[in-house]
Amino acid sequence: MLFTPMENASREELERFQWKKVKDALERSYHNSKFYKRLLDKAGARPEQIRSWKEFREKVPIIGKQDLLEDQEASPPYGERLQCRREDVKFTLMTSGTSGIGQEVYSWNLQDMVPMAVGWGRLVFWSGYRPGDIHLDMLPTNLTLAFPKSMVIAEHLLGVHVLHVGSYTTRQKLEMVKRFGPVAGFTASPAYLTHLMEVSREMGSDVREIFKGLKYIQLVFQNYDPEWVWRMKEAWGGPRITEGYGCSQFGTGAGATCGDVVIGNKRRMIHFFEDCCLYEVLNKETRQPVEFGEEGEVVLTSFSRHASPVIRFAMQDRVRLMPHYDCDCGKPFNGAECGNVRRYDDMMKIRGMNVWPSAVDLEVLKNTDVLEYQGRVFLDNRGNEEVKVMLEIAEAVPPAEKTALISSIASSLQERTGIRITVEQSPEKLPRFEFKPLRWKDERSAAN
């Protein structure tokens, strides 16, 4: 079943549609946004001068977070990107600020609402939800979450019943499931999925009992291995496990799987919503398009943002580009490999090596006896860089097995990252995360 007609288009039809939308976005922003008029004039990229994809890539500048922060600082709170009257702004959201250098501000007017709902609607429709299904929304609702308005519109369009329980504790959420269930599915990070299992056990129950009839789990925000997915399927009673990709720059869901995230040991693909946004996956250094199967940075142009336009924004998301024909669903949308979206600005340079927290996540959390972990990078008394990982291990694991597990994880981390990492058992319970996990502290600058 299709959510929109463009899902049945040929690749050639999609690209013609994209070109029209790109030209419309350039025209609209040039004439209504002082920020983009100034940017395009300086680059010699007036809309009438952009006549091909080649000219678009060569002439239209790529921008990043710092450009938008400077614009907001000069013209608070929205910046000169805003291309509608302030009194026409109906909703505002901000990025989560996890990079540590400030939060971008994005506004919506009435024209933005329904296009944004398409993004959220696809996330749930492609997962399998149909009219009458109950979706448990466990994500926190605030100015840094892109979903609220689009979710409300989408639930009405789809006939899906959404229970918004993001403000409750985990125990309260599970009680809500018992009260209003059965729920068809929910969205969560892999870390929170395991936390739900842990709290269920503390309540003297099992998630398969609490979530009777569960059909869908959609993963967001975090990497995972195929082996982990199969363990979760078994632990949760066999639901379809899908993945969604969203961003504040678009304002809602921006990509999703069309079914399970893995087949056997093979990762499937997150289809980009290419009829809503232009996704360029570019080499981080050369800014040239990467080939299918290669990794690069997502550069996004939104077709549907009328209040706060986004044109060629470097997302800092590192993905492996996959072609639409790698999936047998027939949709014309290219995409990214499941369970493998990482952040360039998360990467840490340690002892001359590039270390990705997501790589440590995969190596540590594939062990079912590890409930959570925290990482720390610091300088010792001699100024040497040190890395320590603290593990929270299930109490039921015998002491000898804990020792062997710690040794095994230390060895596998050194093999995966190329550096020696001290691994120890935490003497206390570690923090849990309902949204984006923040497991690492880099204390090197503080020591200078």
Give the per-residue pLDDT at 335. Answer: 97
Q: How far is residue 179 from each of residues 183, 211, 432, measured CA to CA in Å?
A: 10, 11, 24
User: For 264-310, how does the pLDDT look when each residue is reduced to its tens digit (9 = 90+)?
Assistant: 889 999 999 999 999 999 999 999 999 999 999 999 999 989 999 99
Q: Which of 120, 92, 124, 88 is nearest to 106 (CA)?
A: 92
Give the per-residue pLDDT at 101. Answer: 57
Greater confidence (271 vs 118) lies with: 271
* Residue 418 pLDDT exceeds 90: no
Enumerate the β-bridge partners of residue 270: 336
Give the per-residue pLDDT at 252. Answer: 81
b/e sequence 324-362, b meaning 16+ C-beta within 10 Å: beebeeebbbbbbbbbbbbbeeebbebeeeebbbbbbbb
Q: Which of 268, 187, 190, 282 is nearest to 235 (CA)?
A: 190
User: For 347-399, how does the pLDDT look when each residue is reduced to its tens digit (9 = 90+)?
Assistant: 888 887 888 888 888 889 888 889 999 999 998 888 788 999 999 999 889 99
User: For 208-240, how does the pLDDT look when each residue is reduced to its tens digit (9 = 90+)?
Assistant: 999 999 999 999 878 888 988 999 999 999 999
Give the per-residue pLDDT at 448. Answer: 47
- Cα–Cα distance for residue pair 60/50, rounded to 1 Å: 8
Q: Which of 223, 198, 151 is nearest to 437 (CA)?
A: 223
Q: Which of 9, 370, 13 is nearest to 195 (CA)?
A: 370
Mean pLDDT of 3-23: 95
CB 92 within 8 A of CB 79: no
Give the per-residue pLDDT at 368. Answer: 83
Give the per-residue pLDDT at 149. Answer: 61
* Residue 100 pLDDT exceeds 70: no
- Per the prediction, the chain carries an average pLDDT of 89
Q: How confident is the model at residue 74 (pLDDT cuts 50, 70, 90)?
A: very high
CB 195 within 8 A of CB 432: yes
b/e sequence 366-393, b meaning 16+ C-beta within 10 Å: ebeebbbbbbebeeeeeeeebbebbbbb
Mean pLDDT of 188-199: 87
Greater confidence (140 vs 106) lies with: 106
Domains of the chain: 1-346 (3.40.50.12780), 348-447 (3.30.300.30)
User: For 428-446, how does the pLDDT look when each residue is reduced to its tens digit (9 = 90+)?
Assistant: 999 887 667 788 888 886 5
* Residue 404 pLDDT exceeds 90: yes
CB 186 within 8 A of CB 220: no
- Cα–Cα distance for residue pair 211/233, rounded to 1 Å: 13
Q: How confident is the model at residue 161 (pLDDT cuts 50, 70, 90)?
A: confident
* Residue 99 pLDDT exceeds 50: no
Residue 407: half-sphere exposure toward Cβ, Cα within 13 Å: 6
* Residue where the block lists tokens 């669903």: 329
